[in-house]
Amino acid sequence: MSRSNLIKLLQSPSTNTKQLKQLHAQLLLKTPPLKSSFYLCNSMLLAYANSTNPTDAFSFFITQMHEHVPNKFTFQFLLKACSKLRRVPVIAQVHLMVFKLGFSGFSSVMNSVLHCYVLCGRIREEGKVLFDEMPDRDVVSYNCLINGYAEVGDMSSAFQLFKKVECPSVVTWTAMVVGFCSNGDVMSGKRVFEEMPERDLVSWNAMISGYVKNRVPVEALQLFCQMQAENFKPNRVTISTILSACASLGALDTGKWIHVFIKKNGFLLDSFLGCALIDMYLKCGVVELALEVFRHLKEKNTCTWNALVNGLALNGHVKQVLDVFNEMRIDRSVRPDEVTFVGVLLACSHGGFIEEGRKHFYSTMKEYGITFMLEHYACMVDLLARGGMLEEAQDIIKGMHIAPDMVVWRALLGGCRIHKNVELAEQIISNMETPGSGDYVLLSNLYSSLRRWEDVEKVRDIMKEKGIEKMPGCSSIQIDNMIHEFISGDKSHPRYVVICEKLAVVEKRINADGYKAETSVILYDIDEEEKEQSLGHHSEKLAIGEIVVRDRIRFHDFKDGACSCNDYCLEVSSLVSNSPNNLRIQFLKA
DNA sequence: CTAGGGTTAG
């Protein structure tokens, strides 16, 4: 292989790990003398640093490059590998080497070091010291520092710095947009974005992703349209962000349109796009298409598998989740992680598979060395509590290495109601700092199922005293229609999100041609005990026209962390009030 | 000959 060919392949982004190893072998054939090929060595180092396995860059550096005198590029590439590893001791070691070999005067190298510390959240420690000691700082140094403060959530320091930068670049501006958005202040992010003197594709992507992160996917789609109107061509980053917006809206038509867009433009389905597509189809309830995308994917990593596992679990395909999980365990190229087990346990809890759930929680997770998260505990408590194993559920809570949140307690509380354990329910509620209306209603229902009418009254009085109100009946908004119109001008196939009270049921509507297309979220009133029991754990048919109940989902499925029905209603109504011109509100009968 | 900082998934 010729030298220029080798370089071309090393620099190509589509070269995979296996090919990289072959190129490495080719490179070794060129010795001696490697010295004349020092540029080649640096290219190899950079290729490893950019690969999925950046540790290879270190071994290459140690075993192959010790005979050479490294230059500033060698360190920049090595530091790139460091920034992916995110381990402070490793960074410190390379930093020391940089210092000892006299590269401290190169601002590009020092910026790389600074960037590494920033990514580890060490802005106030090593980052600050380094910045203050740097001989000549440029815009890049300031950008790193701004990112560092944003990373630890200190936007006021970031903003102070931003104002001090003499000649801020697009990158500086974008860093501010990203900083505000990822710290939950999307309004400030928007303001900075609008004040930017010039924008490039990355800044558009940053703002769009800011909207998605802050749960205003409709704004994201609007900006996506505006961006195209201003003649910016979306790239794969834009597309995967937009797919995520579609997923959180259940906007299937738009999502499908994007899928066509990907094919038309010949975008390679990498792990990011594949994952985003699978996630979108599953959140829209179209399992078949998600599976099709998954089967055709060339590169699958843990995220891809997780998208499938979690999406199937969300759709109530319990058996399939467990099958896919077993398939994943056999595949040696991926390793299940904590997110995988959220899906697995969620499936067990939805299916009422107590033994299976116990097996994974008590043993499989240890086998893979998984750190327990709140979600794992919540699923397990839910599963056991529903199955009547209230004591075991309590033991799990007692053994938690992190403080249980509201979701965990509510899972236990739900079990108390089903199995009529008044004492425990009372105890849980009295231990809650801020019980929500749902918690009181649940307790009240428990009392009434035992015909303890006086206690029912008492709960009602407490609620009145605390000013807690039940969320009123139901309202609905028509979202997808509008989004679809933005993009294609097509006004057919509107879908609805119906908000009622308490119990969420995801439904699939079967069209006349038998094609399952529409997904809605309906929150049933669980005051009627009978209805709740008839829904049970399993998906089953309801006698309401052509509607199939896919699954019950708990409220926290909509949002990270604890989330009640009220939260969800508020979220929807704030969406309505934030963009009154874009949403037509329509009231439906539940 | 090369480069450092801002955008994407579960």
**Per-residue pLDDT at A470:** 65
Q: Give me the domain span that covers residue A256.
A: 200-299
A183 Cβ nearer than 7 Å to chain B strand: no
The protein residue nearest B1 (Cα–C1') is: A39
**Per-residue pLDDT at A112:** 97
**Per-residue pLDDT at A405:** 92
Indicate if A484 and A462 belong to the same structural domain.
Answer: no
A241 Cβ nearer than 7 Å to chain B strand: yes
**Per-residue pLDDT at A566:** 32
**Residue A272 falls within a domain, yes or no?**
yes
By percentage, how much of chain A surpasses pLDDT 70? 78
**Residue A109 falls within a domain, yes or no?**
no
Q: Specify which residues A148 forms β-bridges with.
A: none
Band of pLDDT at residue A542, cut at 50, 70 and 90: very low
Specify burial of residue A54 (Cβ count, 10 A radius: 0-12, 13-18, 19+): middle
**Per-residue pLDDT at A31:** 55
A202 Cβ nearer than 7 Å to chain B strand: yes
Domain boundary pick from A470, A499, A514: A470
Per-residue pLDDT of A86-108, as tens digits, reads 999 999 999 999 999 999 999 99
Measured between alpha carbons, how far is A99 from A85 in angstroms, rounded to an integer? 20
Indicate if A438 and A502 belong to the same structural domain.
Answer: no
Measured between alpha carbons, how far is A339 from A342 in angstroms, rounded to an integer? 5
Domain count, chain A: 3
Indicate if A407 and A508 belong to the same structural domain.
Answer: no
Quickly tell me which residue has 């107590």 as its tokens. Answer: A354
Q: Pick the closest to residue A551 from A502, A507, A498, A495 (CA basis).
A: A507
Over residues A410-424, mean pLDDT = 93
Indicate if A442 and A511 belong to the same structural domain.
Answer: no
Q: Is the pLDDT of residue A495 over 50?
A: no
Indicate if A207 and A292 belong to the same structural domain.
Answer: yes
Measured between alpha carbons, how far is A50 from A476 in angstroms, rounded to an integer? 47
Query: Measured in angstroms, what separates residue A104's CA from nucleotide B8's C1'?
Result: 33
Q: Is the pLDDT of residue A264 over 70?
A: yes
Calculated CA dihedral for residues A205, A206, A209, A211, nearest 10 degrees: -120
Over residues A203-214, mean pLDDT = 98
Measured between alpha carbons, how far is A590 from A569 in angstroms, rounded to an integer? 15
A476 Cβ nearer than 7 Å to chain B strand: no
Domain boundary pick from A276, A299, A322: A299
Measured between alpha carbons, how far is A246 from A487 in angstroms, rounded to an integer? 12
C-alpha distance from residue A159 to each of A165, A196, A197, A335, A530 (Å): 10, 14, 17, 41, 56
Indicate if A448 and A532 belong to the same structural domain.
Answer: no
Over residues A249-276, mean pLDDT = 94
Most confidently predicted of A177-181, A411-415, A536-540: A177-181
Q: Where are the beta strands (DSSP E) in A463-536?
A: 475-478, 496-499, 503-510, 516-524
Q: Which residue has the higher pLDDT, A304 or A559?
A: A304
Q: DSSP of A138-200, one letter per residue?
A: -HHHHHHHHHHHHHTT-HHHHHHHHHH-SS--HHHHHHHHHHHHHTT-HHHHHHHHHH-S---
Band of pLDDT at residue A47, cut at 50, 70 and 90: very high
Q: Is the pLDDT of residue A508 over 70?
A: no
Band of pLDDT at residue A50, cut at 50, 70 and 90: very high
Look up the pTM and report it: 0.78
Indicate if A396 and A495 belong to the same structural domain.
Answer: no
